[in-house]
Structure 1
Amino acid sequence: MTEIRAAIPEISSREELARYIHDLAARVENGSMPLENESAIGYMKAAAYWIEACPGFFENFGMETPDNPDWALIGMIFSAACVYE
């Protein structure tokens, strides 16, 4: 999981985000990435809850919460929704 998270800061374009999400999906499919939310509804809700709670995530890591989302933040949301409940 650390490897997939390490790639997030490198996402700076729509194409890189698409590759990241394809890789994330492949990891979920082959079982190397846990998936707590197996339904689309559960996944969407987890993404929404994480977006609401992300200021705490950034604070815990000594980072500022972004005012303007970028491609990397969108990648972070997809990753977090896999495991956030």
Structure 2
Amino acid sequence: MKWTDESINAISSRQDLAAYLQHLSQGMRAGVVRIENPSTIDYVSAASRWTESMDGYFENVVGQPVPDQPDWAMIAAIFRAAVVYE
């Protein structure tokens, strides 16, 4: 799986995912990462909605169907998408 965000492509383990999420949260706190969903409720809801509609992302951006089995990188992509998904 090739993600458009290279930092997601580097994730291959649970530890990589934890480090990525830590870096993402630091970027959000510092204002480096734009936030559309600042509350926990909105963030979790956006993660749910993006997960439901990721078929369109895969079709239009990745050019492949959604994998049947997620990996650590896909979980990171869901977290990242939820930051800006409205």
The TM-score, its normalising length taken from structure 1, stands at 0.92
- In the alignment, which residue of structure 2 is the partner of 1:18? 18
Question: How many residues are matched?
Answer: 81
The TM-score, its normalising length taken from structure 2, stands at 0.91
The secondary structure found in structure 2 opposite 1:36 is coil
The secondary structure found in structure 2 opposite 1:7 is helix
- In the alignment, which residue of structure 2 is the partner of 1:81? 82
Q: Which amino acid aligns with 1:84?
A: Y
Q: Give the root-mean-square deviation of aligned CA atoms.
A: 0.7
- CA deviation digits over 1:30-72, x for unaligned, max 9? 0010110011000000000000010110000212211001000
Q: Sequence identity of aligned pairs in percent?
A: 47
Gaps of 5+ in 2: none
Q: CA deviation at 1:77?
A: 0.4
- In the alignment, which residue of structure 2 is the partner of 1:38? 38
